Chains A and B, each alone.
Chain A
Amino acid sequence: MSSDTLRPTRLWQTPTVVWAALMAATITTTWILSKDTFAATVGTVCTLALAGWKVRLVVLDFMELRHAPWPLRIAFEAWSVGVPAMICGFYLAPW
């Protein structure tokens, strides 16, 4: 197995670009969306959606699952969608 298989093939999949995107998303959620200028529901749901996107970036480009067998990739990608969705579900639940 050549390690070429794990080499990023596109610029936006390189660690530095992924890191910059993760930093920008963190700054947005921590110091912008958390402010009272955004309604609590809007801020919280957007923050959780961005958290899911950040997890997906880490899974695919830092943990290098972009080229993993699909069952493993699906399982970890499902976590990145399912966990924030579950938290949103509890948060938005009317009861």
Chain B
Amino acid sequence: MAALTTDQAAEPETRWKIPGIEGVWVLMAGDMVIFALLFGSFMSARMKDPGTFEVARHTLDFDRGGINTLLLLTSSWCVAMSLHAMRAERREVAVRWLGFGILGGFGFAVSKVLEYSAEISAGHTAGSGDFFMYYFMMTGIHLVHVLVGTLVLSVFWVRWRSGREVRGLTGFESAAVFWHMVDLLWIVLFPLLYLVR
């Protein structure tokens, strides 16, 4: 595990540290700006017709939304614990935490697909008015982020589990901060769609 610190040892010791690759932060900042604009656009549309939005909101499954939030938060925690374990050179523990984190991502995705299926069966599609257009668009883009994040984390899990040498943690730190951003976006998306009344 000595190799873990080789890329870090070359850097001068400073007070500040950014986890992961700088480019990932730029990508995430862009993503977060786009989502902020979508949130504003949704609220602007809601202001024009709050009654219709409220009726549409009541067709959503609040309990499922809440459970999905708990699932994603728990997954984020598992990934944070995995990173801490890797820094402490406890690879087996890290693999276990990461496995649980990935399961959380899968669980969220499966739950979301079941939710979409229930909505579509009830006759609600992206063409069923502004609320559902925003609902399917924003949760759909978010779901793509969940799938990408789960896939990337799975690659690390497979590599770590295979016993291959780990050369620094910058790559995994980048994947982890991306995963936390996916969580962060859902933290706002969930109340916006399900709880604003």
Contacts and interface: CB of A to CB of B under 8 A. Distances in A.
Interface of A: 1-3, 5-7, 15-16, 18-19, 22-23, 26-27, 29-31, 33-34, 40, 43-44, 47-48, 51, 54-55, 58-59, 61-65, 67-69, 72, 75-76, 79, 82-84, 86-87, 90-91, 93, 95
Interface stretch (B17-25, B114-122, B135-143, B146-154): B17-25
A58 B15 CA distance: 21
B27 interface: no
Contacts of A79: 32, 36
Contacts, number: 135
Contact of A48 (B36, B66, B180, B196): B196
A69 B22 CA distance: 12
Interface of B: 5, 8, 11-19, 25, 29, 32, 36, 39-40, 43-44, 46-47, 62-63, 65-66, 69-70, 73-74, 76-77, 80-81, 84, 87, 169, 177, 180-181, 183-184, 187-188, 190-192, 194-197
Contact of A19 (B18, B77, B196): B77
Main SS at interface, chain A: helix
Contacts of A82: 36
B56 to A, nearest CB: 16
Given A62-B80, A83-B36, A87-B196, A67 B15 contact: yes
Nearest to B44: A90
Given A23-B73, A30-B69, A87-B192, A58 B44 contact: no
Contacts of B47: 90, 93, 95
A36 to B, nearest CB: 9
Contacts of A1: 8, 11-14, 17
A83 B195 contact: no
Contact of A26 (B46, B66, B197): B66
Q: Which 3 A-B pairs have the closest CB atoms?
A: A30-B66, A90-B43, A19-B77
A51 B188 CA distance: 6
14 contacts: A1-B13, A2-B13, A23-B70, A30-B69, A31-B66, A34-B197, A47-B191, A48-B191, A58-B183, A64-B17, A65-B18, A76-B32, A83-B39, A87-B39
